Amino acid sequence: MNIFIIPSWYPTKESPVAGIFFKEQASYLAEYSSCNTVGVSLWGQSNDLLLWRVKDLLLPKKIMNKFSYGLNQKKKIINVAFNLFEFYCPVITWSERLLKGNFNGVLEANNYNFEKFVEKVGKVDLIHAHVSYPAGFIAMCLAQKYNIPYIITEHMGPFPFPGLLNKDNSLLDKVFKPLNKAHKIIAVSPSLAEKIKSFNLPEPIFIPNVINEDFFNVSEKQQQNSRFTFFCLCAIEPTKGIPELLYATKRLILNGRSSFIVKIGGDGRFLPDFKQLATKLNINDYITWLGQLDRNEARQHYQDCDAFVLPSHFETFGVVYAEAIACGKPIIGTYAGGPECIINEVNGLLVKVRDINDLTSKMDYMIENIKHYKSQDIRSDFERRFSKKVVIPELLNLYNKVINI
């Protein structure tokens, strides 16, 4: 089976985590069977060739630097594995408010990548786009041109992103059309599937994000913490519930809890504000700011903590929750969409969104009842639902159904 994958964003050296699950899923598809050949289409979608704002176009020096950088980028094919290729055709893009952001250039680049993949493998059986726009729209155009089926996995959180609605709250055509014409829509959580369906679109199939069970695993050497350790990992912004986590920490202290600590990994422009809030609340002795973590560092903190907590306001899935249970750790999440399909009585607790009292209560319960959560039971529950060996066959089964329609 020859699969052409179009991701809406993708990891780079500057942004190594952006779209990491797109990259990993492509590698798992190739790894699963030597009969699968996978091509990934890249054009610089992860910021390196992007002028973000209209006002950037009024800065001649910035434009010249970007175009100079772009001219130095070469088309290339990266042979990741014998049956996995990344096709890179660089395109400079900018705000769609001016000349549609050079979207025609993006379409041409993906067409070029597609044709290079065909030269290597012959007939392409299926196009798989991640996120309805831009990748889904690109997939729709290529599918029409070459008469090939395509599917879209939607990951938007919240769905749709701001700016993708008409004044009457209907979806813009560039989002609605590719989803409506797709041979199948995949949603990464049941709540996202319901949201997509509410826009008068075909009912999506729920297939979760896949987690590498070989990398994220239960440590053979269990960490013995002198203080109960909560670990949180996210982009440091208000919608991840960081203020609520800080206030809940303060209330735990006021309620008499003293032997615990909250370690928070991640970075973002709100980090100084939240550090200031922690100081204002006089909880600095209970908070450790870890900064940006690479994958190895994240795994170490999952394995070393007693429990994972993230009181997010919305999640389409919640990869970090799944990574934590892969490491055998109990989790605290919110009724925010995605977490409900991950968290159950075996592995953790759900909290009302923005409810500091509820969060405080559940963190207190976790400290008091940690012995009730069994690492191996949590790990087994993860393997049954989110591991490569479960999710990839499910995805390939869907591919075969679409191809044989």
How do residues 236-260 score in pLDDT, each as one tens digit?
999 999 999 999 999 999 999 999 9
Tell me: pLDDT of 85 over 60: yes
**Confidence class of residue 405 from pLDDT cuts 50, 70 and 90?**
confident
Residue 52 has pLDDT above 70, yes or no: no
Q: Is the pLDDT of residue 229 over 60?
A: yes
pLDDT computed for residue 326 by the predictor: 98
Token pair of 342, please? 């991950």
pLDDT of 4 > 90? The answer is yes
User: What confidence tier does 71 reach under pLDDT thresholds 50, 70, 90?
Assistant: low
165/156 Cα distance (integer angstroms): 13
pLDDT value, residue 310 = 98
Helix axes 388-403, 20-32, angle to 10 degrees: 80
What's the CA gap between 355 and 262, in Å, rounded? 18
- Per-residue pLDDT, 283: 98
pLDDT in tens, 190-202: 999 999 999 999 9
- The reported pLDDT for the residue numbered 61 is 53
pLDDT at 54: 45
pLDDT value, residue 14? 76
67 pLDDT above the threshold of 90: no
pLDDT average, residue stretch 5-26 = 88
Cα–chain center distance at 98: 29
| pLDDT category of residue 53 using cuts at 50, 70 and 90 | very low
How sure is the predictor about 92, in pLDDT bands with cuts at 50, 70 and 90? confident
Three state DSSP letters for the chain: CEEEEEECCCCCCCCCCCCHHHHHHHHHHHHHCCCCEEEEEECCCCCCCECCCHHHHHCHHHHHHHHHHHHHCCCEEEEEECCEEEEECCCCECCCCCHHHHHHHHHHHHHHHHHHHHHHHCCCCEEEEECHHHHHHHHHHHHHHHCCCEEEEECCCCCCCCCCECCCCCECHHHHHHHHHCCEEEECCHHHHHHHHCCCCCCCEECCCCECCCCCCCCCCCCCCCCEEEEEECCCCHHHCHHHHHHHHHHHHHCCCCCEEEEEECCCCCHHHHHHHHHHCCCHHHEEEEECCCHHHHHHHHHHCCEEECCCCCECCCHHHHHHHHCCCCEEEECCECHHHCCCCCCEEEECCCCHHHHHHHHHHHHHCHHHCCHHHHHHHHHHHHEHHHHHHHHHHHHHHHHCC
Domains of the chain by start residue, with CATH: 2-210+387-403 (3.40.50.2000), 228-386 (3.40.50.2000)
58 pLDDT more than 80:
no
Q: Per-residue pLDDT averaged across 75-87, rounded?
A: 96
Q: Does the pLDDT value for residue 9 go beyond 50? A: yes
Residues 246-298: tens digit of each pLDDT? 999 999 999 999 999 999 999 999 999 999 999 999 999 999 999 999 999 99
Average per-residue pLDDT for the chain: 92
Q: What is the pLDDT of residues 142-187, one digit of tens each?
A: 999 999 999 999 999 889 988 899 999 999 999 999 999 999 999 9
The yes-or-no verdict on residue 344 having pLDDT over 50 is yes
Distance between CA atoms of 21 and 43, rounded to whole angstroms? 18
Q: Which single residue is written with the structure tokens 């726009």? A: 133
CA Rg value for the chain? 22
- Percent pLDDT > 90 in the chain is 83
Residue 220 pLDDT more than 60? yes
